[in-house]
Amino acid sequence: MTEKEVLDIFTRHNALLTGHFRLSSGLHSEKYLQCALILQHPDVAAKLSKALSAKFSKDEIGVVIGPALGGITLAYEVARAIGVRGLFTERQDGKMVLRRGFSIEKGEEVLVVEDVVTTGGSTKEAIGVVNALGGKVIGVGSIIDRSSEKIDFGVPFKSLAVLKVQTFEEKDCPLCKKNIPVTKPGSRR
């Protein structure tokens, strides 16, 4: 699956909008991405997950794990594609943890996935959870890499598409200067 095919899927499902948006961070952007609109379609989620798992076909993987909420569906589908367990980490009192009786064996090879990597913050927290339990993270996978700078996870990071999304402070926003009405999209992931 090429990067263009991936981005076309997003455009076709209105999951990648172009306009003038105020993100929950307060920054303005001309692009808005909502991965849940893609993953709500099991057939599309399966196709993307299969393509993502193929990028790690040479790796030994015992379990796939994703940080909630964005990573749950993807981890599950990637796990299905590989034929292993699919887990998720979640926040408890602000701290990323593994709950619900989920476990990772000592030395178990773990693939960490996230639908969209922006700052990589929750992905790094999920990696920390795996490390603390003695698991071995072999890589990080995402459908979209929309990070503005290269992120070092300490393991190979592979994504299906890279998306450069410029963001602006309101005072510097070129779209505001053109008097284009700004919209606030639904909950940002």
Is 162 among the residues that bind Zn ion (CB under 5 A)?
no
* Of 12, 143, 121, residue with least CA distance to 77: 143
Indicate the pairing of strand 63-67 with strand 109-117. Answer: parallel
Is 176 among the residues that bind Zn ion (CB under 5 A)?
yes
Q: With beta carbons less than 8 A apart as the criterion, state whether 159 and 54 touch.
A: no
Of 175, 185, 188, 189, the residue at the interface with Zn ion (CB under 5 A) is 175
Name the segment binding Zn ion (CB under 5 A); options: 2-10, 45-53, 65-73, 174-182.
174-182
- Residues contacting Zn ion: total by CB under 5 A: 4
Name the segment binding Zn ion (CB under 5 A); options: 52-60, 99-107, 141-149, 172-180.
172-180
Is 21 among the residues that bind Zn ion (CB under 5 A)?
no
Task: Give the x-and-dash track for 28-57 against Zn ion (CB under 5 A).
Answer: x-----------------------------
Instruction: Compare residues 151 and 175 and give the one whose CB is closer to Zn ion.
Output: 175
Instruction: Compare residues 1 and 175 and give the one whose CB is closer to Zn ion.
Output: 175
Minimum distance of Zn ion from residue 14's CB (angstroms): 21
Phi/psi at 134 (nearest 5 deg)? 90, 5
Name the segment binding Zn ion (CB under 5 A); options: 33-41, 103-111, 142-150, 165-173.
165-173
Q: With beta carbons less than 8 A apart as the criterion, state whether 76 and 63 touch.
A: no
User: How many whole angstroms separate alpha carbon 88 and alpha carbon 100?
Assistant: 10
Burial of 95 (0-12, 13-18, 19+ CB in 10 A): exposed
Q: With beta carbons less than 8 A apart as the criterion, state whether 175 and 20 touch.
A: yes
Is 124 among the residues that bind Zn ion (CB under 5 A)?
no
Q: Among all residues, whose Cβ is closest to Zn ion? A: 173
* Of 93, 101, 89, 100, residue with least CA distance to 131: 89
Residue type, 128: G
Contact positions toward Zn ion, by CB under 5 A?
28, 173, 175-176
